[in-house]
Structure 1
Amino acid sequence: MTDRGRGLRGESHDVQRENQGMTRPMKRTPVSIRGAHFEADDSAGPHADTEGLEPYKVLIVDDETHILKAVQRLFLGQGYEVLSAPSGADAVELFREHQIAVIISDQRMPGLSGAALLNYVRKKSPHTVRIMLTGNNDVATAIEAINQGEVFRFITKPWDHDEFLKIVGLAIEHHELLISRVRYQEHIREQNERLSVLNTELSELNEELEARVEARTQEVVARQREIERLYCELQGSFDATIKALVSIMELGEVHVIEHCQRTAERVRMFGERLGLDTDEIQEVERATLLHWIGLINAPPRVFELPVEELDEEAKASWEFHTVLGQQAIQHVPALRQAGRMILHYLNRYDAPEFQPGRIDPSSGDVYQESFVRGCRILGICSAFERVRTGLRGNNRLEVAGAVERGLQLLQKGAGTRYDPELVRQFREMVAQEMATARTREIVVSFENLRPGMVLARPLETAQGIPVAPRDMIITDELIARLGRFQDSNGLNEIRVWG
């Protein structure tokens, strides 16, 4: 068990409740499902159930008594009603007697396995969020749990207390989201019933109004079909987006996450320097945040060596990651353009088939100038940041050396692999950044932050959430963004190069 996990026991319950309150909204509106009326307000606290003022019920299932007791101790003062069961059969009995918001089950148990139990829960109560508790990293176990129980998260033994509580908080939010979707479906059903009544009333009007009745009926039917079409599209995007984001969060590799975040910030700065409009910058930035999703399971040497020095296995992972990344998000309508950009961002500048006006063989669409430019910007920024991603250390001299090697890499490929004009603009931008850098760290308050300063260390909120990477140039926009964190949760010590 980590020091961080052990330290949780010493915190006051007030602090724990405050931390938990940050993960989900405090207020909810009334919900009506299957004739029952649920209503909760602020006085119910962050963990009140939607049925009356009762707390959410969390069921923990494990054949090891000390695990059950450990989890019950962990949830003391958190506002949940915790139920426990030593076996899958006992859990089924409790499930029949209670309305469970979240179930946390061990996988390996005598009799009914965790995957089978979660599959039973999924069928009987799809609104109950399912979490797998396991003491191993068996791939077959994970596949079985995903296929049968459609688990929301995995928690491995031993666990980190803070992470455990955070995951359960997210599961409660997901439970509320599922209930809210039912409420929305109920609302649509009521609207459809009202439309049906309206059609009946219109048909009973006298003969003088027959023409107007027919026109009105056609209008109502058309609107109803449009509502149904938009709802189906929204529901499809909603479900697909949740699955994509859960996959990224569950499987994320630290190299992948840090590289994508740093490159996205670089893309935004470069796009602003080039004078691109906000929509175009956001489109490229969205693709950048996901462009290494296909490398999640890649071997570590993919990130630590130049592409030309990779062995056959690592080179295959690198060359195929664009296809995997595009496939991972292609079913999310809002991310289809980002997926196309991920698929093409490694295309060479001198490739005759990848030019504005040519046909994209993968989709049949014409390559627009903005799309090609976005791919080239992403390719340049990612290649530059990849040199730093491979560093084993993070001292100032190593970072400076990585910057120089990154610029040399881009210059070497200018005119062949990279757009020479974009490389020139990028080099000028980085040169201005380096000109503002110093070798001495100084601590500044948020009120004394000024545009042009450069962060000497990664900046985090008071809760340890990263908000800006090392060597980020402070801009007016970044100060405004940091101000929102400062007002809500506070920021840790700010160090800049002085």
Structure 2
Amino acid sequence: MTILCVDDEPNILSALRRLLRGKGYQVLTADSGAEGLELLAQQPVDLVISDMRMPVMDGARFLAQVRERWPGTVRLLLTGYSDVQSIQDAINCGEIYRYITKPWDDNDLLLIVRHALERRALEQDKLRLEALTRQQNEELRLLNASLEQKVEQRTHQLKANFLTTIKILSGIAEMRGSSLPGHTRQVAELARRIAVQLKLEAREVQDVFIAGLLHDLGRIGFADDVLRTPVTALQGDALAQYRKHPVRAEHLLMPLADLAGTAAIVRHQLERFDGQGFPDRQLGFAIPIGARILALAADYYNLQQGALVQRHLRAEEAKSLILDGAGKRYDPAVVQAFRQVVDGGVRGVAEAHDLELLSGELVPGMVLSRDVVSRDGLMLLAADHVLDARMIQQLQDFEKKSGSRLPIFVQRSRVDAA
């Protein structure tokens, strides 16, 4: 520990130097406040002992400058019994730790010095620990931010992969069925847009969309003749089998906890708003809202494909039958939302933020906003895929071999960035 003694009397300085060096302290001396400040500027000092009465700069002024420039240095004042006002000045201006009266008792002075230095050491430890804590907290904050970002990215990737798997499964079921290529995507997209129009929560919209992709999953085991027969022409065991396909699909989805909401929607897709549906004859609003939406979306396209009745209806004819079914087969509120969607009253979320490009306009770094689907319904790439040069070339090659242009939509926000 280094101690600086400042006094204009040489004998006082000698006595202090002798006393303090005997206890192992490094002692510096100065005969004026100005010299003391010079020494402090040259090397670190742990404690200063200054006389009060000195010419030019008294102890109070000297210690005040020490406090201002080296606040971590402990300050002690030597003074006589009669210097009450001087002591007050030193306390107010220099914020001294203690004052020592002359003549001093050696043991008392050494005890004061030791306590002062111990206090300084504690304060420095406290400051060091606080600084270390702040540093560690900042490092922890940055680590948490990094981990949260990585978890978010990983979660997004897992969700994207999960949805892609569902789309592939949907495509397999569609290939087994009698529907036209892309049927399940049409149903899923219409159901999603109706759900958005009804202002359902994001999770409910997602469940409705996935239910649209998987709504025919329970028909994958149907015989070919049953798949080819319109519903209105089914009889006996074939009709009973058809009415059970939503429950079969629900059972297939039960092991996937994340699809519990979707499974409930799929189960009740054949329920009617008037309570005359299957499998549970639920009535009105007791039917899950997602199932009320899916029932309408699936019927709209099934009517056009001849899957419900024995002829293919035009879109306007299918729409008219849907509107006539309000309050009977369909929820009137869902019918109204459907009407707004097909009449152009609402755009899909992707439509509002994506841009259709030719394959020759694609550049690496662009992000697909929709699935890239071939004319025969084969999904080539899933939405959210980040394009690279190799993938762009493969899309261009596919177009050349198939002789048809692929519908390719990318995120608008990533076009400029790419």
Q: Same fold (TM over 0.5)?
A: no
Bigger relative contact order, structure 1 or 2 (CA pairs below 8 A, ≥6 apart): 2
TM-score range, shorter chain: 0.3 to 0.5
TM-score (norm 2): 0.41
Pair member with larger Rg? 2
TM-score (norm 1): 0.35
